[in-house]
Amino acid sequence: MKLHLAPMEGVVDFVLRDLLTGIGGIDQCVTEFIRVTSQLIPAKVIYHYCAELKSEGKTASGVPVLVQILGSDPQVMAENAAQIASLGAVGIDINFGCPAKTVNRHDGGAVLLKNPDRVFKVVEAVRKAVPKNIPVSGKIRLGFDQAEICVKNAEAVQAGGAQKLTVHCRTKMDMYKPPAYWHWIAKIKEVVSLPIIANGDIWGEAELLECKKVTGCNEFMIGRGALRDPFVFRRLKGLQVKQSHKDLLLPFFQMNSQRVSPSFAQARTKQLLRNFIGYDETYLRYFDDLKVITLPSDFAQRLSEL
Ligand SMILES: Cc1cc2nc3c(=O)[nH]c(=O)nc-3n(C[C@H](O)[C@H](O)[C@H](O)COP(=O)(O)O)c2cc1C
């Protein structure tokens, strides 16, 4: 079984990947999406999204990180993918699932799922532009407003030459509403032979087992479940968990302070802590206590006393 940490824009950056892969149980990560419009993205920006490129595309714990791009112009996507590959990416993932209105209005993300031929053309162009030894993968939702089209889109990703496909089992219109419709992966598998990563609403062992049963998949991607419980990957792999959620907060704050700034660190630590409440309500007390602190130095002091 392989477990993937889901890409999450504004949340899963270099520091959180470092923290979560340091805990263990994760086999692969994906960067937040990098939006490709009409130009070649400067290398500086690519390194910002994937600082791991400076260490062979892997986190400090040795977990590979795919670079995710989002866009609709096959040619520009191909040129950017080639440049990202030349910077040392271990793989390129293409986002066909983003539901954000601004992204969709600018012809990117889930809007492409309305037309599988457009999905095919982007994947094909990117695959041709990237050296053969670097895998290209696609990440789709089931569709824009209808789920049935997932089969055609999965076929398009395969026909374009991708090596793998992640399916977030909801349409764009579903946004993040439960449930995730895992059974569509079984339908996709009737016609597509690509390895598939199942994604959507896997929070722990119960969902993972059910998802495995329904989809027959051996690879799973977890997003919000990893924020709620950073130890979920270890638990799912039957590894011992010796730390508690609380133990992660100060190191996370310090890593962010060092890398970005104390005020950024404070905001991101509050964001992470807020997610812990879904795992254990007692974190609400810590959150209420910490959320009102404004000075990062006071915040750090309070974290060290937890
Ligand atoms: C805050 C947030 C940001 C996200 N950003 C991305 C992204 O940059 N690229 C992407 O492919 N999916 C993105 N997603 C979707 C997740 O990767 C994942 O497909 C989705 O959350 C379903 O998985 P889950 O139920 O395990 O959270 C994002 C989701 C959330 C909640």
Q: Is the CB of 201 under 6 A from ligand 1?
A: yes
pLDDT at 271: 98
Phi, psi of 130 (to 5 degrees): -100, 135
Q: Is the CB of 139 under 6 A from ligand 1?
A: yes
* CA of 87 relative to ligand 1 center, distance in Å: 25
Instruction: Give the integer Cα–Cα distance in Å for 214 and 196.
Output: 13
Q: Is the CB of 172 under 6 A from ligand 1?
A: no
Terminal-to-terminal C-alpha distance of the chain: 36
pLDDT at 235: 98
Instruction: Give the integer Cα–Cα distance in Å for 306 and 290.
Output: 10
pLDDT at 82: 98
* pLDDT beneath 50: ranges in the chain: none
Output the residue whose Cα is nearest ligand 1's atom 12.
7
* CA of 11 relative to ligand 1 center, distance in Å: 10
| DSSP assigned state of 98 | -
Instruction: Select from 4, 141, 168, 196 the residue to mutate for testing ligand 1; criterion: most ligand atoms less than 8 Å from CB.
Output: 168
Catalytic residue among 29, 50, 98, 169: 98
Phi, psi of 266 (to 5 degrees): -65, -45
pLDDT at 2: 98
Instruction: Select from 3, 4, 5, 9 the residue to mutate for testing ligand 1; criterion: most ligand atoms less than 8 Å from CB.
Output: 9
The reply to whether 98 belongs to the active site is yes
Q: Is the CB of 130 under 6 A from ligand 1?
A: no
Output the residue whose Cα is nearest ligand 1's atom 23.
200
pLDDT at 164: 98
- State which H helix or E strand residue 242 sits in: none
Across the chain, where does the E strand assignment appear?
2-5, 28-30, 34-35, 65-70, 92-96, 136-143, 164-171, 196-199, 219-222
pLDDT at 285: 96
Model pTM above 0.85: yes
pLDDT at 140: 98
Instruction: Give the integer Cα–Cα distance in Å for 10 and 25.
Output: 23
* CA of 94 relative to ligand 1 center, distance in Å: 13
Q: Is the CB of 168 under 6 A from ligand 1?
A: yes
Q: Are 295 and 263 in contact (CB under 8 A)?
A: no
pLDDT at 84: 98
Helix residue ranges, H only, 88-221: 101-105, 116-129, 150-159, 183-191, 205-215
Atom of ligand 1 minimally distant from the CA of 93: 11
Q: Which tokens belong to 7? A: 């890409």
Phi, psi of 91 (to 5 degrees): 180, 155
- State which H helix or E strand residue 26 sits in: none
* Residues in Cβ contact with 92 at an 8 Å cutoff, skipping those fewer than 6 apart: 66, 67, 68, 69, 81, 84, 85, 126, 130, 134, 135, 136, 137
